């Protein structure tokens, strides 16, 4: 699977909803219920970060929920990509981009949403064939104004900004022509997951799913 094909697939996923929940899950037994709440709330694309021991088991559980598209986040190495694919991930998200990761995801036929910050990184990703990118850490490197500035010289590149995106600033990103969706961690809280408060998560998902896009 070429980077061009990968970007086509990740772009299609990013177009499904204005927000991709970024999830750190610590109890895989709660993963399927969590996925159902998010999908029911209108957010079908879910990113489970590989930052906990439960992440791969959570991806396995969540990938069986009808209507959901579950990806692995914090994919750093070819081994991460393989373990994610074996667990049922339908896409991978990385904070950056390396040649080894490009080759691994191509071999695994695992669509990759790679992370970038600078114009040089964006141009490098574009040279490799990617035109749908993660902009991370968004707020720390200039937020929506930075992405707006990048749209001029790099008009064919689209982004999913992640990192510091909140309900208060999500609209400023989504109004930009080069932003397809945002990634956000505010929809899923540890407290609600621990309490099994799926309705609260579904309610936040429903609000996020209704955010307008430019």
Measuring CA to CA, which residue among 167, 116, 112, 168 is closest to residue 141?
A: 116
What pLDDT shows up at residue 60? 98
What pLDDT shows up at residue 135? 98
pTM for the structure as a whole: 0.97
Instruction: Supply the residues annotated as catalytic.
Output: 47, 134
Distance (Å, whole) CA 76 – CA 84:
11
Distance (Å, whole) CA 99 – CA 139:
27
What pLDDT shows up at residue 196? 97
Distance (Å, whole) CA 1 – CA 214:
30
* Ranges in the chain, pLDDT < 70: none
For tokens 């694919």, name the residue. 85
List, for residues 70-125, the tens digit of each pLDDT value. Answer: 999 999 999 999 999 999 999 999 999 999 999 999 999 999 999 999 999 999 99
Distance (Å, whole) CA 42 – CA 21:
11
List the chain domain ranges. Answer: 3-209
CATH class (in words) of the domain with range 3-209: alpha beta
List, for residues 111-124, the tens digit of each pLDDT value. Answer: 999 999 999 999 99
What pLDDT shows up at residue 214? 84
């Amino acid at each position: 699977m070429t980077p061009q094909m990968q970007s086509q697939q990740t772009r299609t996923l990013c177009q499904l909803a204005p927000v991709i929940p970024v999830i750190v899950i610590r109890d895989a037994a709660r993963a399927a219920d969590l996925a159902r709440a998010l999908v029911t709330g209108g957010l079908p694309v879910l990113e489970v970060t590989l930052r906990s021991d439960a992440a791969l088991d959570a991806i396995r559980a969540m990938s069986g929920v009808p209507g959901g598209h579950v990806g692995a986040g914090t994919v750093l190495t070819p081994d991460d990509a393989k373990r994610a694919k074996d667990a049922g991930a339908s896409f991978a998200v990385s904070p950056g981009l390396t040649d080894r990761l490009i080759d691994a995801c191509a071999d695994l036929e695992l669509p990759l949403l790679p992370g970038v910050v600078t114009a040089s990184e964006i141009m490098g990703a574009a040279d490799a064939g990617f035109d749908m990118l993660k902009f991370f850490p968004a707020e720390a490197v200039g937020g929506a104004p930075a992405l707006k500035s990048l749209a001029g010289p790099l008009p064919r590149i689209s982004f999913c900004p992640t990192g510091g995106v909140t309900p208060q600033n999500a609209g400023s990103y989504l109004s930009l022509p080069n932003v397809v969706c945002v990634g956000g961690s505010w929809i899923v809280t540890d407290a609600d997951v621990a309490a099994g408060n799926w309705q609260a998560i579904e309610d936040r998902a429903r609000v996020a799913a209704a955010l307008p896009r430019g």
